[in-house]
């Protein structure tokens, strides 16, 4: 397969003035007519006329009205074109019904919809499918569906047809079309300059009761972007459509966002608090793309973090403002470590701005999204809030309507702040998570912190240069008072010291407050110091971090030295959980154990080969010990965090439910599931129903509840996805493969539906001890399903193949078994480019 390189970028030979598309919809024979006004690009003398096109049947092609016979290849067509403006007309035929890849125009439950990012438009018609070719689109849809939607504003419609016009120049990846029997929930928003915008959330008949929250989230996002970034919406209409079959969460098509139904549909009965929060974040994310992605887009796909890192950063800010900032930061860091640090430490490590790819779909990664957002957060911390927003104003003004690069982005900051960002720029090109080693000393009232940064080699990058690392530090005196409030140490050398004067005694440092940089702090503090910070740190992130480090240390010593659960940890946990001055959501996070994958990652980093079964057993033992140690406070904790008002998915109520749910899962280890059954029977919302079901499964008392749940929800796909995945997640390691085999044999396991596939096969990959079962059954099952899915949906298969990316952490036997499965996948003759690239990189 061909490899594409950032260094090979060439400007397009032709630009487009405008595009008119006509769709004659038919499940297996949709006709797409295009009329495109091309003009030679004055910035280049290249006049090669190439249009991307894949899986298209060309019916006819004309240049300036004259029929031509272009040269066709697997990836597109070439033709002789004038060195002057000209009109291209083509007609192609495509088959949406047989498009199981869910890329281009496809069908989902009888409804037509599109997914064009990154390179799906070339499966709709011949076009320069690259983000630096932007054009206004006019679209006519002919079809028998009652609702026919495209980007922009509706211009005319009649029985069986509708016309749309999007005045904002856009790249083809933002094109969208939807046709189906849909119902709208409608709202409105008046922008601060007085534009009345109609908001529609379109769903299939029967889902109308799950739209209110999404619509409100959209309104909140529109207001927030005006208040915080000064960005207004720019059309009279904003449509969102929920689709059941979708490869990712959602897509920001101009004026017509398309959402995975799981990322937008919610009612208290069917969605958990976590689902509501995710939905709010994704609605915001897609809406924020209107400016960071659509108005200002990427010059090429290597610049993907330009829109994704910034938009994730913005959606994180939004959620912090809507909910609790500290809880949000902790959740984001948990996610970053679980997904991005894992990626950065293995064979799939790549820079925030990659320099090569075979299949761009494989680069919608935690590195580009989440590490990309961390880089923006560091930049903001370094320049300060005022300069950050000043720079953003300049960015929007200078680059509106353009396709940009990371150089353009950083130039704005250099121009507005006068800072030299050449060293900072390494965050975009250097892969790997820096280790931050720390030493401290105290002499004559001066406390010195000496940091050393080290980034280990990653694929293709053996040598690393020092990065600019903003390290937020606070100092506490031994009596618990803060003697130095949060101060920013700006590290740029490989080793660098920072001093704090005028102290009377050696302080206790609180380092990397708010997790001010995406690095791994290696400092081995004593457990006494961790307990001290857990009790006294004024920075909520580091307070939580201290508790987490304690839990990790306890678990690791249980695994490596056979220690018993540490009572000092259990005492500290008990004190923290009982501290009612702390937010319940914070306490719920602090009570949770580090994930088993996190422990495996930590053991591997310290040179110990992780044993998944030992990690599983230690976690279980520590949970049991926690339940017993907290036994006397658990009933009160559970009772005190019941919500007596009507269900609201807000931060306050969901924090209480999270803490009560954590208490319930501990209680279930003591009472055999009695309390959980009572909660299950009384639950009137999905959060409590699901936390009760999961506690019952923990206590081996879930058979009846599982059956009742299925009977109640068998017709609700999204709720049944939870039922499927929970059974895999809660299975005992020895049973995981059998559970997966039983679930995948059910008629309602539809592998064409990515949500259902992820619910079962994704949960298999996420069950550390089940997936890495010594029998190798987990690996074999995963490979079997990846092979089957690859023939239908390469994009989702490739993403899920990352379940294997940690294989080098494990013992020889496991490595051999995994290698055999990866090679079995690789040996498939018809393996997709997507999966072949991923598995090839994992094996390398
Ligand atoms: N910009 C979108 C990324 C995307 C995508 C979405 C749905 C299906 C396939 C996709 N490929 C790429 C989503 C986002 O970041 O907002
Ligand atoms: Zn995005």
| Per-residue pLDDT tens over the stretch 579-595 | 999 999 999 999 999 99
**Å from CA of 89 to ligand 2 middle:** 32
Q: How far apart are CA 613 and CA 794, in angstroms?
A: 32
In this structure, the residue with its CA closest to atom 1 of ligand 1 is 251
Q: Report, as an integer, the average pLDDT of 785-798.
A: 98
Long-range CB pairs of 37-42, under 8 A, 24+ apart, other chains included: 37/85, 37/86, 37/87, 37/88, 38/14, 38/81, 38/85, 38/86, 38/87, 38/88, 39/14, 39/15, 39/85, 40/13, 40/14, 40/15, 40/83, 40/84, 40/85, 41/11, 41/12, 41/13, 41/14, 41/15
Structure token digits, residue 634: 């658990």
Q: What is the pLDDT of residues 75-122, one digit of tens each?
A: 999 999 999 999 999 999 999 999 999 999 999 999 999 999 999 999
Domain housing 34: 4-181
Q: Which ligand ends up closest to the CA of 249?
A: 1
Does residue 642 sit in helix, strand or coil?
A: coil
Asked if residue 153 belongs to a domain, the reply is: yes
| Most ligand 1 atoms within 8 A of CB, residue of 250, 293, 370, 834 to mutate | 250
Contact 352, 305 (CB under 8 A): yes
Q: How far apart are CA 438 and CA 452, in angstroms?
A: 6
In this structure, the residue with its CA closest to atom 13 of ligand 1 is 251
Q: What is the pLDDT of residues 223-261, one digit of tens each?
A: 999 999 999 999 999 999 999 999 999 999 999 999 999
Asked if residue 99 belongs to a domain, the reply is: yes
Asked if residue 377 belongs to a domain, the reply is: no
Q: Report, as an integer, the average pLDDT of 128-136.
A: 99
| Catalytic-residue membership of 286 | yes
b or e along 101-133 (b: 16 or more beta carbons within 10 Å of the residue's beta carbon)?
A: bbbbbbbbeebbbbbbbbbbbbbbbbbbbbbbb
Structure token digits, residue 644: 């007596």
Residue scoring higher pLDDT (224 or 524) = 224
Residue 7 has pLDDT above 90, yes or no: yes
In this structure, the residue with its CA closest to atom 7 of ligand 1 is 248
Q: Which ligand ends up closest to the CA of 247?
A: 1
Q: How far apart are CA 743 and CA 372, in angstroms?
A: 37
Task: Check which CATH number belongs to the domain holding 52 and give it.
Answer: 2.60.40.1730
286 Cα nearest atom in ligand 1: 16
Long-range CB pairs of 160-168, under 8 A, 24+ apart, other chains included: 163/138, 163/139, 164/137, 164/138, 164/139, 164/140, 165/136, 165/137, 165/138, 165/139, 166/136, 166/137, 166/138, 166/139, 166/235, 166/254, 166/255, 167/136, 168/136, 168/234, 168/235, 168/254, 168/294, 168/295
In this structure, the residue with its CA closest to atom 2 of ligand 1 is 251
Percent of the chain with pLDDT over 70: 100
In this structure, the residue with its CA closest to atom 11 of ligand 1 is 117
Query: What residues does ligand 1 touch, defined as CB less than 6 Å away?
Result: 115, 117-118, 247-248, 250-252, 285-286, 289, 308, 364
Q: How confident is the model at residue 657 (pLDDT cuts 50, 70, 90)?
A: very high
369 Cα nearest atom in ligand 1: 15
Asked if residue 621 belongs to a domain, the reply is: no
CA distances from 24 to 29, 34, 122, 139, 143 (A): 9, 12, 17, 11, 6
Angle between helices 686-698 and 651-671 (to 10 degrees): 20
CA distances from 44 to 399, 643, 681 (A): 21, 65, 70
Asked if residue 439 belongs to a domain, the reply is: no
Asked if residue 117 belongs to a domain, the reply is: yes
User: How high is the pLDDT of residue 524?
Assistant: 86
Asked if residue 637 belongs to a domain, the reply is: no
Q: How confident is the model at residue 14 (pLDDT cuts 50, 70, 90)?
A: very high
Closest CA to 115 of 279, 361, 357: 361
| Most ligand 1 atoms within 8 A of CB, residue of 250, 251, 755 to mutate | 251
Supply the DSSP string of 746-765, one letter for each residue: STT--TTSHHHHIIIIIHHH
Residue 571 has pLDDT above 90, yes or no: yes
Structure token digits, residue 150: 């495209």
b or e along 274-301 (b: 16 or more beta carbons within 10 Å of the residue's beta carbon)?
A: ebbbbbbbbbbbbbbbbbbbbbbbbbbb
103 Cα nearest atom in ligand 1: 9
Q: How far apart are CA 493 and CA 443, in angstroms?
A: 24
**Å from CA of 410 to ligand 1 middle:** 24
Does residue 532 sit in helix, strand or coil?
A: helix
Catalytic residue from among 286, 370, 545, 837: 286
Q: How far apart are CA 762 and CA 754, in angstroms?
A: 10
Closest CA to 264 of 224, 213, 315, 323: 213
Closest CA to 392 of 281, 322, 311, 324: 311
Asked if residue 67 belongs to a domain, the reply is: yes
Structure token digits, residue 94: 């495509």
In this structure, the residue with its CA closest to atom 12 of ligand 1 is 117
Q: How far apart are CA 812 and CA 234, in angstroms?
A: 58
Q: What are the φ and ψ backbone dihedral angles of 500, each rounded to 5 degrees?
A: -130, 120
H or E, element range at 89: strand 86-94
Residue 811 has pLDDT above 90, yes or no: yes
> What pairs with residue 237 in β-bridges?
198
Q: How far apart are CA 37 and CA 20, in angstroms?
A: 9
285 Cα nearest atom in ligand 1: 16
Structure token digits, residue 76: 């597109």
User: How high is the pLDDT of residue 103?
Assistant: 98
The whole-chain average pLDDT of the chain stands at: 98
**Domain count within the chain:** 1
**Å from CA of 307 to ligand 2 middle:** 7
**Å from CA of 251 to ligand 1 middle:** 5
**Å from CA of 338 to ligand 2 middle:** 19
Q: How far apart are CA 105 and CA 107, in angstroms?
A: 7
**Å from CA of 727 to ligand 2 middle:** 31
Contact 825, 807 (CB under 8 A): no
Q: Which DSSP state fits 305? A: H
**Å from CA of 249 to ligand 1 middle:** 7
User: Is this complex's ipTM strictly greater than 0.90?
Assistant: yes
Q: Report, as an integer, the average pLDDT of 526-538.
A: 95
CA 675 to mean position of chain CA atoms: 35
Q: Which DSSP state fits 610? A: P
Task: Give the max Cα distance, the chain.
Answer: 88
Structure token digits, residue 819: 């290698």
């Amino acid at each position: 397969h061909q490899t594409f390189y950032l260094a090979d970028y060439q400007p397009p030979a032709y630009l487009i003035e405008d595009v008119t598309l006509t769709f004659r919809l038919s499940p297996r024979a949709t006709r797409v007519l295009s009329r495109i006004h091309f003009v030679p690009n004055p910035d280049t003398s290249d006049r090669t006329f190439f249009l991307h096109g894949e899986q298209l049947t060309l019916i006819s092609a004309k240049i300036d009205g004259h029929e031509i016979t272009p040269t066709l290849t697997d990836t597109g067509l070439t033709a002789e074109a004038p060195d002057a403006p000209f009109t291209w007309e083509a007609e192609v035929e495509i088959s949406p019904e047989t498009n199981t890849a869910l890329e281009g125009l496809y069908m989902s439950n009888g409804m037509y919809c599109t997914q064009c990012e990154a390179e799906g438009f070339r499966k709709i018609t011949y076009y320069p499918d690259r983000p630096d070719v932007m054009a206004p689109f006019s679209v006519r849809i002919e079809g028998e569906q009652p609702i026919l939607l495209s980007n922009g504003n509706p211009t005319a419609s009649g029985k069986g047809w509708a016309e749309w016009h999007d005045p904002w120049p856009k790249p083809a990846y933002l094109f969208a079309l939807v046709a189906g029997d849909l119902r709208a929930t409608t709202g409105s928003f008046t922008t601060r300059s007085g534009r009345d915008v109609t908001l529609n959330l379109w769903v299939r008949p029967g889902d109308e009761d799950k739209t209110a929250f999404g619509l409100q989230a959209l309104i909140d996002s529109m207001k927030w972007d005006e208040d915080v970034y000064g960005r207004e919406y720019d059309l009279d209409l904003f449509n969102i459509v929920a689709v059941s079959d979708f490869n990712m969460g959602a897509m920001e098509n101009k004026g017509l966002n398309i959402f995975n139904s799981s990322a937008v549909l919610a009612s208290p009965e069917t969605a958990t608090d976590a689902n509501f929060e995710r939905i709010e974040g994704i609605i915001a994310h897609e809406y924020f793309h209107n400016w960071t992605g659509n108005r200002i887009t990427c010059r090429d796909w290597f610049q993907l973090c330009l829109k994704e890192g910034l938009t994730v950063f913005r959606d994180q800010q939004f959620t912090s403002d809507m909910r609790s900032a500290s809880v949000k930061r902790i959740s984001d860091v948990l996610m970053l470590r679980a997904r991005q640090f894992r990626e950065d430490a293995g064979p799939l490590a790549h820079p925030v701005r990659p320099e090569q790819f075979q299949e761009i779909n494989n680069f919608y990664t935690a590195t580009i999204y989440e590490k990309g957002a961390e880089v923006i957060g560091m930049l903001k911390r370094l320049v300060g809030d005022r300069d950050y927003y000043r720079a953003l104003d300049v960015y929007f003004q200078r680059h509106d309507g353009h396709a940009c690069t990371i150089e353009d982005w950083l130039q704005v900051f250099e121009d507005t702040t006068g800072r030299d960002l050449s060293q900072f720029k390494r965050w975009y090109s250097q892969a790997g998570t820096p280790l931050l080693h720390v030493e401290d000393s105290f002499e004559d009232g001066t406390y010195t912190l000496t940091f050393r940064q080290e980034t280990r080699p990653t694929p293709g990058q053996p040598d690393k240069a020092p990065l600019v690392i903003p390290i937020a530090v606070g100092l506490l005196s031994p009596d618990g008072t803060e003697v130095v409030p949060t101060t920013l140490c700006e590290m740029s050398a490989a080793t660098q010291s920072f001093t704090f004067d005028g102290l009377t005694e050696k302080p206790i440092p609180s380092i990397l407050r708010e997790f001010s940089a995406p690095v791994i702090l290696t400092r081995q503090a004593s457990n006494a110091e961790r307990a001290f910070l857990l009790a006294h740190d004024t920075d909520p992130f580091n307070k939580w971090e201290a508790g987490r480090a304690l839990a990790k240390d306890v678990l690791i010593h249980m695994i490596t030295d056979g220690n018993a659960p540490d009572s000092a940890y259990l005492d500290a946990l008990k004190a923290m959980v009982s501290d009612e001055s702390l937010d319940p959501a914070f306490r719920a996070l602090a009570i949770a154990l580090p994930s088993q994958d996190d422990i495996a990652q930590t053991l591997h980093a310290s040179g110990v080969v992780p044993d998944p079964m030992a990690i599983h057993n230690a976690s279980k033992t520590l949970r049991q010990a926690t339940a017993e140690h907290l036994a006397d406070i658990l009933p009160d904790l559970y009772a005190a965090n019941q919500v007596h008002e009507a269900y609201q998915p807000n931060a306050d109520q969901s924090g209480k439910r999270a803490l009560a749910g954590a208490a319930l899962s501990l209680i279930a280890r003591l009472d055999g599931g009695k309390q959980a059954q009572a909660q299950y029977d009384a639950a009137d919302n999905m959060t409590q129903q699901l936390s009760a079901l999961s506690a019952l499964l923990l206590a081996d008392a879930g058979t009846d509840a599982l059956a009742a749940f299925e009977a109640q929800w068998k017709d609700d796909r999204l709720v049944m996805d939870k039922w499927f995945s929970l059974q895999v997640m809660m299975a005992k390691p020895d049973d995981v493969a059998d559970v997966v085999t039983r679930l995948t044999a059910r008629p309602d396991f539809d592998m064409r539906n990515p949500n259902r596939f992820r619910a079962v096969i994704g949960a298999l990959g996420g069950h550390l001890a089940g997936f890495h079962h010594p029998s190798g059954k987990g690996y074999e099952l995963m490979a079997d399903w990846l092979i089957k899915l690859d023939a239908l949906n390469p994009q989702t298969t490739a993403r899920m193949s990352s379940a294997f990316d940690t294989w080098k952490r494990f013992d020889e036997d496991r490595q051999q078994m995994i290698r055999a499965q990866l090679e079995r996948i690789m040996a498939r003759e018809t393996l997709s480019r997507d999966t072949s690239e991923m598995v090839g990189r994992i094996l390398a």
